[in-house]
Structure 1
Amino acid sequence: MKRRALSTAVAFAATSALLLSGCGGDDGGSGEDDEIAGAAKDPAPGTSAESPSGDAAKRPSVTLPSDVKNVFDGWEAGDAAKDALLTDVTHRINATDAAIVAADPNSEALRFYYKGEALAGAATWVKGYVDEGRSITGTVRFYDPDLVMVDKDTAALAYCADESKASDKDRKTGKADKTPVTKESYVAYNSRLEKGEDGVWRTTVLESERGNAKCVR
């Protein structure tokens, strides 16, 4: 099974290079020290976690129905600053799914966790679901996060998603699509994030590619 594609990711490789440009270091990319380690982390799917320590932002409440779940595997860096960023990304992912379920392209949570190009893309994506009378169901596992800090307020994050246990469904009938699990069930994401004055990490660029070899299991 698979969900409606977030983007066709035209020139995905070029976007990846753009996200990582200027990240510092002799090799211009993530090294061994940038690998994300840690035990599997599966935050409660229904509600956003509390704000990280020292963060004064008032995050919007995000609630997912019982049949929609996101699992974040290995999303702990063991570093307070990086963990705060990764937590905000989990909130953004949950907020996107909540907006689809609620058929709300103008969701407050979308506008909170996205900005710029990424916000426009997310709103268009959610609207596509609304226009087609579709919603989502099932569990998506997010794994292999690869985080590069450009500076204290800018970062690039790549990660994978396994949608083999998730699918679209008809909004009226509730009937889920039944499609075979293939390499297209696995999605590679590249994103760029910026930290606001309120301490929140917001996604400014987000691209995806289905069937990317690095994510296929």
Structure 2
Amino acid sequence: MNRPARLVVAALTVSTALLLTACGSGGGDDSSSDKIKGAETGGRTPSASASAPTSPSDGVKRPEITLSKEFQANFDGWTNSDPKLQAILNDGREELRSKYAAIIQANPDSDAVAFYNSGTSLTSARKWVKSFTDTDDGLIGKVTVYRPQVHINDSGSGVLFYCVDERKASTKNRKTGKVTTTPDKPESVLQYRARLDKTSQGVWKNVSLTTVAGGCG
């Protein structure tokens, strides 16, 4: 496979293999309490509206995450009336944003990535970011992150499923300026399946993450 042809964060060719091994190596729990009803079925196309990131009011000092003007991550419908579930959504959103920012900043050892990941999830997240920095690629365009589904399982862990549409995102090589676009195909829409544990400080950290290319139907 031609490495420069990989997508922004998975889907086809090299990207798919890269994400499914890097982001999917966190030892996901397949117990029934970690499954979300209806998550396997196809769904709607994300709407144009997107919820802006909001700051949690729990008093925890979280890292400030900034994306470049050339890249947008729009989160559609990331609200929940249950404060406990909203806290999981907030930290799950920032976990994904931290990895995008680390790629843009060419920093696989990002403190923000470590803040929102632990154990094997941190190892795989850094490996994934490094796959971009090794080839000197950044991100441009936009992704839409939508249809979040969240609950707390029997063991007290958070379970978060969501969809990422990468079809309007591309990679851009910092040296050559070459842009590699994401194919406009169903496989470029991925379903992320995360398990999160709450720290003593009150932060929901990713402990495992798997992805399914085309999993959002």
**CA, structure 1 residues 153+135, in 2 after alignment: closer, same or farther (shift >3 Å)?**
same
Distance change in 2, residues 1:179/1:200 (3 Å): closer
Answering whether residue 52 of structure 2 is matched by residue 43 of structure 1, we say yes
Mapping of 1:104-183 within 5 angstroms? 104-151=107-154, 153-183=156-186
- 1:158 to partner: Cα distance: 1.1
Residue 192 (structure 1) aligns with: 195
Contact 1:57 1:198 survives alignment (8 Å): yes
How far the C-alpha of 1:60 sits from its partner, in A, is 1.0
Deviations 1:123-168 (A, max 9, x none): 0011111111111111111111121211584111111111111011
* Corresponding residue for residue 87 of structure 1: 90
In the TM superposition, residue 4 of structure 1 has moved relative to its aligned partner by 3.8
Q: For 1:177, what is the secondary structure of its paired residue?
A: strand
Residue 8 (structure 1) aligns with: 20
Change (3 A) 1:135 1:29: closer
1:77 corresponds in structure 2 to: 80
AA aligned to 2:74 is V
Question: Tell me, what secondary structure is at the counterpart of 2:134?
Answer: helix
User: Cα deviation per residue 1:29-57 (whole Å; 9 max; x = unaligned)?
Assistant: 4459xxxxxx954315xxxx42x22x232
| Letter aligned with residue 146 of structure 1 | Q
- The size of the alignment, in residue pairs, is 193
- Please state whether the residue corresponding to 2:114 is helix, strand or coil: helix
- Mapped to 1, the partners of 2:174 and 2:146 lie a distance apart of 28
Name stretches of at least 5 consecutive residues in structure 1 with no aligned partner: 33-38
Change (3 A) 1:30 1:129: closer
**Alpha carbons of structure 1 residues 182 and 122: separation in structure 2 relative to 1, 3 Å:** same
State TM-score, norm by structure 1: 0.79
TM-score, structure 2 normalization: 0.79
Counterparts of 2:132 and 2:82, CA distance in 1: 37
